[in-house]
Amino acid sequence: MKNSLISLTVVCGLLIVVTICIGQYRPSIPADRGGVPEWKNDAEFKHDVFTFVRIRYNSHQGWRRWATDYPDSDLNFSYRLQQLTSMKVDPEGRILELTDEELFDYPFIYLIEPGSLEFTEDEVTALRRYLSNGGFMMVDDFWGEAEWDNFALEMKRVFPERELVDIPLEHPIFHCVYDLKEKPQVPSIGVAQWGRSEGITWEREDAKQVHYRGLFDDKGRLMAVVCHNTDLGDGWEREGEDKWYFQEFSEKKAYPLGINIVFYAMTH
């Protein structure tokens, strides 16, 4: 590990230590955890850890888009979160459906590739209840106007009276741990390699502009952050496959913003 600048932040009486530098490139090693190191948490405080929860949902395209990048993105992100901060993190994570009663045991959920998702009425009710009662949702990896329209329509079923609005760069979510100078667009590794010489980081012509939109409650609390025309999950999943991709997208963009989002969600 190369030398790292240490940031000390006290939130709600908890000292959170964050290493500003992501660290060295870590090539993937075939193993049960895909080369991701294992770690142990104190058994006496097994419920006092952050757990990365991925949401399983139905899609009208009929395949498991909810499982995109799984399990490597979840394992890698959890590893980096416990490596770079003083947060205690579950090394395994969880997969839950919105209708699982266990959902309310976890303050953070991750939903990926929602461009063709189709909520049931029970899921609509559960998600509204979860977000209204303090839960936080991160949505990631969908591209273009058609996928946006589908997701926005489904969220209107959850909160008919609320709008998803662009989060300005000045918002603390872009600065609370890592001070980001731009709203990052992270392409999948294949698109990044293909477009490297031309600087292309978008996956389709109607997805050139990255958007980070938020859903706020009546008190101004950010309940959900929606990452559109970007793929943070691929930056986590594919970090060990290409050193250039790691350095340009995983280290500089995908991990810093992901850690910012979790930090903000857990402290607001």
What's this model's pTM, rounded to 2 decimal places? 0.88
Distance CA 195, CA 204 (A): 12
Query: What per-residue confidence (pLDDT) applies to 21?
Result: 59
The three-state secondary structure class of 146 is helix
Whether the bond between 71 and the residue before it is cis, its omega within 30 degrees of 0, is: yes
Q: Which residue has the tokens 């850690």?
A: 259
Two tokens, residue 170: 């000045």
Distance of CA 244 to the CA centre of its chain: 21
Neighbours of 62 (CB within 10 A): 8
Distance CA 235, CA 70 (A): 12
What backbone torsions phi and psi does residue 48 show, to the nearest 5 degrees? Answer: -100, 45
CATH code of 51-266, in short, is 3.40.50.12140
Q: Which residues of the chain fall below pLDDT 50?
A: 1-16, 29-31
Query: What per-residue confidence (pLDDT) applies to 5?
Result: 34
